[in-house]
Amino acid sequence: MDISSYKNYISKETMMGPNCVRVLAELFDKHPLQCAADDRILDLGCGTGLTSLVIAKETGARICANDLWVSAEENGKRFAQWGVGEQVMPVCEDANQFHFEKKQFHALISIDSYHYFAGHEGFFQEKILPFMKDRGEVLIGIPGLKEEYASRAKELLSDWLGDDAYMFKSRICWKELIGSHERIESVETWEMDCFREAWSEWLASDNEFACNDRQYFETIIRPYTCFVGIYIKLK
Ligand SMILES: C[S@@+](CC[C@H](N)C(=O)[O-])C[C@H]1O[C@@H](n2cnc3c(N)ncnc32)[C@H](O)[C@@H]1O
């Protein structure tokens, strides 16, 4: 995927953390999706919908852009402005209580969001799997802990993240949390290559949260954290 095609959309207003388009590009390069125009993809925790726009353009599929903190109305206006209003449907629901039709999504993509709500055993099986089609695919990119610091999130990250430090988990921990199920064929987790670039692009922006993160990058973020990629293939 050529990220430069989307540079006009990536700004301090649309970014909510390390460059989500950069993270998405690595997931797509490693696990390209084959989609038909009537396939549905769930962009889970899409924020301002930047990734939803890119997924729509790259796959040609219909996108369900779900987020909790950003309203469907606000995202809907942006999608119309970006010219993808027909292809991308904004939804505002909590991932713990989806009301979607069962077995409808060909793929699920989630960037910098899954760690907020899915860090316990059984979440994937109970809250996500029912909505996925057979042979579906799941691509997730989230901040996490480097393997050598696994389970030390509170001790190492609290100065930066306060009570949210527990959300950062290692690659192996995420593989265990996703777990198994008769409908799951395989689960792969890895430390992503895009960490440096995704973070630099965020820190270079004038977003007020980026200004705060800048203070902790060299002392906490770079030494202890990484981006964890998760790929799940269903039977
Ligand atoms: C750091 S932002 C990332 C947004 C976007 N994916 C990006 O990378 O720019 C995390 C997002 O997770 C979403 N989120 C948090 N808890 C959620 C939940 N329970 N259900 C759905 N989305 C949730 C928030 O609404 C928020 O937009």
Which are the contacts of 201, defined by CB distance < 8 A and separation ≥ 6?
Answer: 10, 15, 18, 19, 22
Query: Is the CB–ligand 1 distance for residue 47 below 6 Å?
Result: yes
More confident residue, 16 or 206: 16
Domain with 55, as residue range(s), is: 3-234
- Residue range 138-149, pLDDT digits in tens: 999 999 999 999
In this prediction, residue 197 carries a pLDDT of: 98
To the question of pTM greater than 0.85 for the whole model, the response is yes
Query: Is the CB–ligand 1 distance for residue 112 below 6 Å?
Result: yes
C-alpha distances out from residue 75 to 68, 70, 88, Å: 11, 7, 10
Average pLDDT over residues 79-105: 98
For atom 10 of ligand 1, the residue with the nearest CA is 113
Q: What letter represents residue 139's amino acid? A: L
**pLDDT over threshold 90, residue 98:** yes
Number of domain units in the chain: 1
Query: Is the CB–ligand 1 distance for residue 54 below 6 Å?
Result: no
In this prediction, residue 37 carries a pLDDT of: 96
**pLDDT over threshold 90, residue 202:** yes
Write 148-153 long-range contacts (CB < 8 A, 24+).
149/224, 152/224
Q: Which atom of ligand 1 is nearest to the CA of 23?
A: 8
In this prediction, residue 206 carries a pLDDT of: 87
pLDDT band of 114, cuts 50, 70, 90: very high
Q: How many C-beta neighbours within 10 Å does residue 97 have?
A: 7
| Residues of the chain above pLDDT 90, percent | 99
Query: Is the CB–ligand 1 distance for residue 49 below 6 Å?
Result: no
Cα distance between residue 51 and residue 14, in whole Å: 10
CATH number at residue 86: 3.40.50.150
Average pLDDT over residues 168-177: 98
